Amino acid sequence: MTILTESPLLSPFNSAYSDQRPDFTASSIRSELEPFDPSQPTLCDRQVRAYRHHYGFDSLPDDTDYSIGMESIQQAQLVVQFFQSRSAMGTVVIVHGYTDHAGLYRSVIDYLLRLKWNVLIYDLPGHGLSLGDPLGIDDFKTYVTQLNHLLQTYRAIMGKRLVLLGQSTGAAIIMSQQIMPVMHLMQPLHIDQRILLAPLLRPTRFERIKKLYRLVGWFRRRYKRDFTDNSGDPEFLAFVRQRDPLQYMHFSMNWIRAMLKWVPLMEAQRGVEGAPLIIQGDEDVTVDWRHNLPLFEQIYPEAQTCLLQGGRHHLVNDALDIRKQVFVKIEECLAKLSSPHPIDRRSR
């Protein structure tokens, strides 16, 4: 039985939430932030309140505690947010996609909270509120190191169950965290489930991207970004293009180099343990899903794969009918993990 209700399914990008570009910037928000402490709700100052309103976070369930702060990981300064639900079953850690940031994930955060799951989400380096080379990375292993740090540091507060949910590049990071460990963990980390939405393996036009990088990658640091119709929700597309102050207008050649290095490493994997839920749309023109899905079946022989007719790339912000299907699949997956003894945050 699902809990689909109006609030998490309405597009958070209509004029009711964000009818114009706000006056906050990433730097102005960071100036208000303390070091991340998920055990204490954040008293939000003006800029953080403006951020929360612009992205619809002030419409989340009333029983949600909210923490936001800065986390230093090696040379990176990341902004992390934690949404706590009363008597939560555990925590879903969301890893967003390339060019995205946490503000674009309000609808799935809302839905997970109503399912009584906490949500931890952070902006990747050079994305959203986090510092770093805009949309750049030196190596995908850096992403894995950062995710491992957050999981290791804050595992105790996440509750009994731990689920990783990733969109596109976020899904690639989650797979890499399991397959290509790069950081010694002080204690074993058990992940109860992995949910991979439109996971990156090869992007579309992969061979063209390789040729382009060989031609210009050695002297160009940036490449102009073309916005694509990666969602069936016109309000989401208009918001990202016109009213999102946390978008960057150029891709980083460093990221493309790191991606090209990562792809053959992942494609060589076979027989990885676990049964992740893979959800993919058949109208996705961002990743080469026809090439990728057969390989995912070899990488994860026990994976549960769901191909959604009409689904585009940004599944958590797709058209309403697609979003409903995605959320139901996520809910069914999480229901299998539901503990008879939920974690009550008030007992800590």
- The string of DSSP codes covering 102-113 is GGGGHHHHHHHH
Determine the 3-state secondary structure of 49 from DSSP: helix
Q: Which residues of 295-313 are buried (b: 16+ CB within 10 A; e: fewer)?
A: bbeebbeebeeeebeebbb
**Is the torsion defined by CA of 53, 229, 317, 276 positive or negative?**
negative
In the three-class reduction of DSSP (H, G, I as helix; E, B as strand; rest coil), residue 63 is classed as coil
315 — phi, psi (to 5°)?
A: -65, -35
Domain boundaries, the chain: 25-337
What pLDDT shows up at residue 239? 96
> What is the homologous superfamily of the domain 25-337 according to CATH?
Alpha/Beta hydrolase fold, catalytic domain (3.40.50.1820)
H or E element: which one contains 119? strand 118-122
User: How does DSSP assign 172-236, residue by residue?
Assistant: HHHHHHHHS--S--SS-----EEEEES--SSBTTHHHHHHHHHHHTTT-SEEE-------S-HHH
**Residue 307 and residue 282 in contact, taking contact as beta carbons nearer than 8 Å:** yes
Phi and psi based region of residue 28 (left: phi greater than 0; alpha: psi -120 to 50; beta: remaining): alpha
pLDDT of residue 217: 73
- The whole-number pLDDT of residue 7 equals 60
Per-residue confidence in pLDDT tens, the chain, 348 aa: 566 655 666 666 765 455 566 889 999 999 999 999 999 999 999 999 999 999 999 999 999 999 999 999 988 999 999 999 988 999 999 999 999 999 999 999 999 999 999 999 999 999 999 999 999 999 999 999 999 999 999 999 999 999 999 999 999 999 999 998 665 555 678 999 999 999 999 999 999 999 989 988 777 888 889 899 999 999 999 999 999 999 999 999 999 999 999 999 999 999 999 999 999 999 999 999 999 999 999 999 999 999 999 999 999 999 999 999 999 999 999 999 974 444 444 333
Residue at 109: amino acid letter: I
**What would the two tokens of residue 231 be?**
């969602």
Query: What is the predicted pLDDT for the residue at 5?
Result: 59
Tokens 């061979």 correspond to what residue?
207
